[in-house]
């Protein structure tokens, strides 16, 4: 019996040690993030499959982070630029699917978790000879619609700046209004990832009323980040939240959530697998 007991003990210890190898990254590096004394305020914005009418990837990710951490989250839906103002003031603590611009990194920590690629969406009645940023700039009748508080991404930042300097950018606060104006012909193009334009322009895609082109000149996708306000979270807190996102990628949760909105093939391309 003593031999059996010792063998069982050894097996149990070995199993426990092996289990440790499969623990999520955040568990191996010191545990889940500490929950603050009050609910974490998550800023959500209406923008296609990221979030609209109570559903979307950003909400799914916030729910998963809440479940894994045990922290209570409270969501607030607001324009994108209001989220940044709120994070600076400490009334918003987190937001998702965000670009980590130098201005935002002053007041927020950033944890990348997926790749998002903006493309150019043009109305069919736009000049068919326009196939590049330089072509677009050289056509004075063409205007670009752009969401306030959004980031164009590395490939298009200079393009948007040049158009803005010559008065050819229409800034719009809300995603629904941006796409309604595009459909109405108020401007001829906008920048968007597939997660967004495929949601708003289903009928137009089916009817062949738009064309989608990649003018990024082969530049890589830009990462989307979980942004965490520095007024509530420390650098160590941010690292632990980031490790939790990495664990979600490692165990397949991120791919599963993405696939609901873009399909399995595109979901795999959007995964951020770098350490």
Q: What integer is the mean pLDDT of 87-112?
A: 96
Match 């994070």 to its residue by tokens.
Answer: 87
Which residues in 154-191 are b (16+ Cβ under 10 Å) and which e?
ebbeebbeebeeeebbbebbbbeebbeebeeeebbbbb
pLDDT in tens, 147-160: 988 888 888 999 99
pLDDT number for residue 3 = 33
| 239 and 111 within one domain | yes
Nearest to 247 by CA among 68, 70, 24: 24
Residue 83's pLDDT band, with cuts at 50, 70 and 90, is very high
| 232 and 200 within one domain | no
Q: What is the overall mean pLDDT for the chain? A: 88
Asked if residue 3 belongs to a domain, the reply is no
Residue 251's pLDDT band, with cuts at 50, 70 and 90, is very high
Asked if residue 53 belongs to a domain, the reply is yes
With H, G, I as helix, E, B as strand and everything else as coil, classify residue 43: strand
pLDDT in tens, 102-124: 999 999 999 999 998 899 999 99
| 264 and 198 within one domain | no
Range from 28-32, 180-184, 219-223, 270-274 that averages highest in pLDDT = 180-184
Asked if residue 202 belongs to a domain, the reply is yes
pTM of the full structure: 0.80
Kindly tell me if the per-residue pLDDT of 191 is higher than 70. Answer: yes
pLDDT number for residue 217 = 80
pLDDT in tens, 201-225: 999 999 999 999 999 886 666 799 9
pLDDT number for residue 220 = 63
* Better pLDDT: 269 or 221: 269
Domain count for the chain: 2
Which CATH number belongs to the domain containing residue 170 in this structure?
3.40.190.10
Cα-based distances in Å from 58 to 157, 195, 219, 238: 24, 11, 25, 18
Q: Read out DSSP for 147-206?
A: ETT----TTTHHHHHHHHHTT-EEEES-HHHHHHHHHTTS-SEEEE-HHHHHHHTHHHHH
**Domain enclosing residue 204, as ranges:** 119-213
Cα–Cα distance, 206 to 210 (Å, whole number):
9
User: What share of the chain has pLDDT > 90, as a percent?
Assistant: 76
Residue 2's pLDDT band, with cuts at 50, 70 and 90, is very low
| 137 and 254 within one domain | no
């Amino acid at each position: 019996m003593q031999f059996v007991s010792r063998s069982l003990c050894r097996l149990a210890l070995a199993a426990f040690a092996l289990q440790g190898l499969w623990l999520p990254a955040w568990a191996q590096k010191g545990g889940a993030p500490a929950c603050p004394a009050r609910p974490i305020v998550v800023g959500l914005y209406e923008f296609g499959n990221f979030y609209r009418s109570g559903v979307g990837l950003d909400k799914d990710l916030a729910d998963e982070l809440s479940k894994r951490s045990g922290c209570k989250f409270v969501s607030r839906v607001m324009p994108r630029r209001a989220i940044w103002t709120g994070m600076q003031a400490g009334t918003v603590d987190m937001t998702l699917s965000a670009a980590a611009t130098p201005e935002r990194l002053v007041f927020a920590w950033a944890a990348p978790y997926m790749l998002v690629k903006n493309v150019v969406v043009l109305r069919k009645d736009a000049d068919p000879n326009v196939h590049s940023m330089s072509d677009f700039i050289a056509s004075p009748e063409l205007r670009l619609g752009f969401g306030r508080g959004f980031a164009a991404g590395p490939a298009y930042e200079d393009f948007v700046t040049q158009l803005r300097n010559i008065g050819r950018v229409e800034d719009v606060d809300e995603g629904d209004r941006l796409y309604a104006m595009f459909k109405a012909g108020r401007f001829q193009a906008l920048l968007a990832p597939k997660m967004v334009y495929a949601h708003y322009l289903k009928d137009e895609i089916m009817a062949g009323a738009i064309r989608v082109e990649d003018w990024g000149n082969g530049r890589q996708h830009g990462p989307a980040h979980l942004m965490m306000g520095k007024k509530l979270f420390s650098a160590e807190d941010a690292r632990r939240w980031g490790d939790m996102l990495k664990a979600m990628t490692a165990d397949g949760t991120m791919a599963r959530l993405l696939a609901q909105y873009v399909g399995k093939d595109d979901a795999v391309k959007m995964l951020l697998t770098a350490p």
